[in-house]
Amino acid sequence: MKSESGAIETLAIHAGEPKPRIGGAVVMPIFQSSTYEYLGEADYHDVRYIRLNNNPNQIALCKKIAAIENTEAALVAGSGMAAISATLMTVLSSGDHFITLDCLYSGTHELTTKILPGYGISHSFVNGNDHASWERALKPNTKAIYVETLTNPLLQVADLVRIVEFARANKLVSLIDNTFASPINYRPADHGFDIVLESCTKYLNGHDDLVAGAVAGDAERIRPIKHKLDILGGTLDPHACFLLDRGLKTLAVRVRHQNASALRIATFLSEHAAVKHVNYPGLPSHKQHERAAELFAGFGGMISFEIKGGAESADRMFERLRIPALAVSLGGVESLIIRPAAAIHPNLSAEQRDASGISDGLIRLSVGLEATIDLIADLEQALAG
């Protein structure tokens, strides 16, 4: 049974909040207590202790996230990477193999290539649009397929419908990192994915002021992940839970504004003489535009583009920009801009970056909530300089 019903805007505000309200408080109070009276809990993981992910703030937030993801259960974690690593280390054991995308987020890429092999977990990288490459990667010990809704920073859209079909046909657990889309634009569980991961540091919180992660899915899948996280220790503290809960309440209005603003900015950039190429799934020129239009409620707030003159021109443009901050991360109210080759993938060789399509001059823009006309005017003056 799914957790709660209602429109996502309403769930983001009210789901999970205790009834009756605690002391009448309209906003869930912060429970800044690490431990609670022992009530005779038989299982260690049920003992009320802050690391065991059962503080009242953690419980309320888990219920809220399950409601907005439309899953039976959810778990909050101390970061997106805590959620991803605890999940993969639960779903996969020594001797297992999994299939994943060749253009993973850099942290997940490092987990896959440098950490999991040390625990006997192997992988094959595939192209999310090349079905034959998934079939070729299948092995008798393949247990899971792990994808991202929109890839970073090229914003490609894998064939998500066929990936779910492929997972079911081959009895694989399907996992998806939905950070770039957020549940406002795409709810993976509704499309058959078994486990949904979010870096809540990005859109779900939306204010660039905390680090958090979440995992959502059926209760029987989430329970062992919670037990693993309880021991690995990737807990979210109550104050961060409070901030994330507050951020979540405005998720729908923020993301919808960012969708609309990013589409206008991407269109402006695609028509600008100094711009060579724009990657944005909302543009008809995007290779998977039709698929994105079918699958997503909105195209998101992330754009990447290349300007004439490569990395040097990009860095000169950054110096002239007044509104976007030059910073990694994304999904917040402040617009952020970065050159991924320099800041996010510096450990990849130039050949590896070229192979993945991340040129030195590629620019990634996370569109915030500033007025779209101000952002366009700022980009225009910076590109003209």
Of 362 and 383, the one with the shorter C-beta distance to ligand PLP is 362
From 36, 48, 51, 246, active-site residue: 51
**Annotated catalytic residue, options 105, 146, 186, 203:** 105
Nearer to ligand PLP, 150 or 265 (CB): 150
d(CA 211, CA 86): 16
CB of 328 to ligand PLP, least distance (A): 7
- Contacting residues toward ligand PLP, per CB under 6 A: 79-81, 105, 107, 148, 152, 177, 179-180, 199, 201, 211, 213, 329
Roughly how many angstroms between the first and final C-alpha of the chain, as a whole number? 57
For residue 20, say if its preceding peptide bond is cis, omega within 30 degrees of 0: yes
CA 50, 73, 103, 90 dihedral sign is positive
19 is catalytic: no
Least gap, CB of 236 to ligand PLP (angstroms):
11
Half-sphere exposure of 100 (CA within 13 A, CB side): 21
Closest separation in Å from C-beta 215 to ligand PLP: 12
Q: How far is the CB of 226 from ligand PLP (least distance, A)?
A: 18
Nearer to ligand PLP, 127 or 313 (CB): 127
> Cβ distance 78 to 212 under 8 Å?
yes
Q: Please, what is the minimum distance in Å from the beta carbon of residue 250 to ligand PLP?
A: 19
Shortest Å, Cβ 45 to ligand PLP: 23
The nearer residue to ligand PLP, 22 or 327, going by C-beta atoms, is 327
For the question of residue 139 being annotated catalytic, the response is no
Cβ of residue 141: shortest distance to ligand PLP, in angstroms?
26
**Given the complex with ligand PLP, which of 326 and 373 has the nearer CB atom?**
326
Among candidate residues 16, 29, 28, the one with its CA nearest the CA of residue 69: 16
- 177 annotated active-site: yes
Alpha carbon dihedral 343, 346, 350, 352, in 10-degree steps, equals: -110
Residue in the shown chain whose Cβ atom is closest to ligand PLP: 80
- The verdict on whether omega for the bond into residue 340 sits within 30 degrees of 0, i.e. cis, is no
Which residue among the candidates 96, 177, 208, 245 is catalytic per the annotation?
177
Distance of alpha carbon 47 from alpha carbon 300, whole angstroms = 40
Task: Give me the catalytic one of 63, 64, 202, 228.
Answer: 202
Q: Rounded CA gap, 13 and 169, in Å?
A: 38
The residue length of the chain stands at: 385
Is 146 a residue of the active site?
A: no
Q: Show the tokens assigned to 230.
A: 């309880």
Nearer to ligand PLP by Cβ, of 81 and 341: the residue is: 81
Nearer CB in complex with ligand PLP: 213/301: 213
Q: Which residues pair with 325 in a beta bridge?
A: 336
Say how far apart CA 175 and CA 316 lie, in whole Å: 39
Strands 97-101 and 142-148: parallel
Active site residues: 51, 105, 177, 202
